[in-house]
């Protein structure tokens, strides 16, 4: 009875709407029903889809950790407790650095003392203990690398891991990072197109972290750091304007448009009398050439220099006609 009622309802709906009732499509199919003229049953047709290259909005970007394959394999061989997929965040609190040194100095470092927290007091505590350990063992770890790693500066953790790898294994591995060790993101900004580069506000937010403000809450020091970042950003913007004048619609100034012709000879001699004397002295024969001749006799001459007053110099200058 129920099936008969459902069939009668579907037939009545189809007759009311004036169209045939379409059967359901199988699940997961990429086809649709195409209506046909009256008297023919509907047929199935495949739905056109774009190619695989144009299906995604953006091309896949390769992930770069800033470390070579050799260093990554070395870190994986240590069997660290926590992953280091994001190197800058994973090594900022110093816990993984302490775990690395615990494999080489198990009697000097107790990993249970270190805290794997993300708060700034936890970072300060871990790095202070590591600095005492470096001092006791006389390990040359630059404080600039520790500071950059703790505050998650761009490239700081990568340089620190590279330095630790060289120190513990006596091997050299080249970093993938292209820019110099300045712990700024300007090297990355130069690779971006002009429209995608950071503004002054984004530059301060990227290069001046919150942990730096918590470590040194002095207003004058923080404002000086922000001012240095802004000045560096302005210099890069000026350099970009010089490299791409058409984009910024730069026009040459009046001094750049003017043609600069050399001065006439008489004006040049009046303005620069010393230059004529030097040219005449250079054109004469050198003393070494004179001494090479055997028939030349020398005689000492005492010359008294006459001091010229300022009035005579001004008179000679006025006689020159421009």
Q: What radius of gyration, in Å, describes the C-alpha atoms of the chain?
A: 40
Mean pLDDT taken over the chain: 72
- Evaluate the CA torsion angle 189, 190, 196, 201 in order and state its sign: positive
pLDDT of 125 reads: 92
Among candidates 164, 159, 133, 165, which has minimal Cα distance to 147? 159
Integer Cα distance of 71 and 51 in angstroms: 39
Tell me the H-state helices in 170-306.
Answer: 186-191, 200-207, 210-215, 219-243, 254-257, 265-271, 273-283, 287-291
> Domain limits of the chain?
69-169, 191-243
pLDDT of 37 reads: 46
108 or 3, which is more confident: 108
Across-strand partners of 34? 43
pTM of the model: 0.54
User: Which of 97-106, 168-177, 247-256 has the highest mean predicted lDDT (pLDDT)?
Assistant: 97-106
Task: Name the DSSP letter for residue 261.
Answer: P
| Mean pLDDT of the region 99-128 | 91
Query: How many residues are there in the chain?
Result: 322
The residues, ordered by sequence, that sit 6+ positions from 126 with a Cβ below 8 Å of its Cβ are 93, 94, 95, 98, 114, 115
pLDDT band at 132 (very low <50, low <70, confident <90, very high): very high
Tokens encoding 4? 């008969």
Read off the pLDDT of residues 66-97 as tens digits, 9 standing for 90 and up: 788 888 899 999 888 888 888 888 999 999 99
Tell me the H-state helices in 170-218.
Answer: 186-191, 200-207, 210-215
Largest CA distance in the chain: 145
The answer to whether residue 299 scores a pLDDT higher than 80 is no
The answer to whether residue 311 scores a pLDDT higher than 50 is yes
| Region of residue 94 (phi > 0: left; psi between -120 and 50: alpha; otherwise: beta) | left
In angstroms, the Cα distances linking 130 to 122, 140, 212 are 12, 12, 19
CA triple 197-194-59, angle to 5 deg = 80
Task: Name the DSSP letter for residue 47.
Answer: P
Q: Are 66 and 162 within 8 A, CB to CB?
A: no
Q: Domain 69-169, CATH 1.10.418.10 — does that match?
A: yes
Task: Name the DSSP letter for residue 196.
Answer: G
Measured between alpha carbons, how far apart are the two ends of the chain, in Å? Answer: 121
Integer Cα distance of 86 and 64 in angstroms: 10
Q: What percentage of residues in the chain have a pLDDT greater than 70?
A: 60
The answer to whether residue 198 scores a pLDDT higher than 70 is yes
């Amino acid at each position: 009875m129920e099936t008969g009622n459902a069939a009668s309802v579907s037939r009545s709906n189809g007759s009311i709407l004036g169209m045939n009732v379409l059967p359901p499509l199988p699940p997961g199919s990429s086809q649709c029903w195409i209506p046909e003229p009256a008297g023919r049953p509907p047929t199935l047709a495949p739905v056109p889809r774009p190619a695989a290259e144009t299906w995604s909005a953006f091309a896949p970007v390769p992930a770069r950790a800033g470390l070579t394959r050799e260093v990554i394999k070395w870190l994986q061989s240590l069997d660290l407790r926590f992953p280091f997929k994001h190197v800058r965040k994973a090594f900022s609190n110093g816990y993984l650095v302490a775990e690395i040194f615990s494999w080489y100095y198990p009697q000097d470092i107790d990993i249970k003392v270190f805290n794997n927290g993300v708060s700034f007091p936890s970072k300060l505590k871990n790095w202070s203990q590591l600095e005492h350990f470096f001092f006791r063992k006389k390990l040359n770890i630059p404080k600039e690398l520790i500071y950059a790693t703790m505050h998650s500066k761009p490239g700081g953790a990568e340089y620190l891991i590279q330095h630790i790898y060289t120190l513990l294994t006596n091997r050299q591995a080249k970093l993938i990072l292209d820019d110099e060790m300045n712990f700024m993101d300007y090297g990355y900004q130069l690779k971006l197109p002009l429209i995608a580069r950071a503004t002054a506000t984004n530059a301060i937010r990227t290069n001046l972290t919150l942990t730096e403000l918590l470590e040194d809450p002095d207003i004058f020091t923080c404002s000086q750091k922000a001012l240095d970042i802004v000045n560096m950003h302005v210099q890069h913007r000026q350099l970009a304007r010089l490299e791409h004048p058409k984009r910024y619609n730069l026009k040459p100034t009046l001094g750049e448009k003017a043609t600069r012709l050399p001065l006439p000879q008489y004006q040049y001699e009046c303005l620069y009398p010393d230059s004529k004397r030097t040219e005449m002295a250079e054109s004469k024969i050198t003393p070494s050439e004179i001494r090479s001749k055997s028939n030349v006799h020398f005689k000492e001459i005492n010359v008294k220099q006459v001091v010229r007053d300022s009035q005579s110099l001004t008179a000679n200058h006025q006689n020159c006609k421009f």
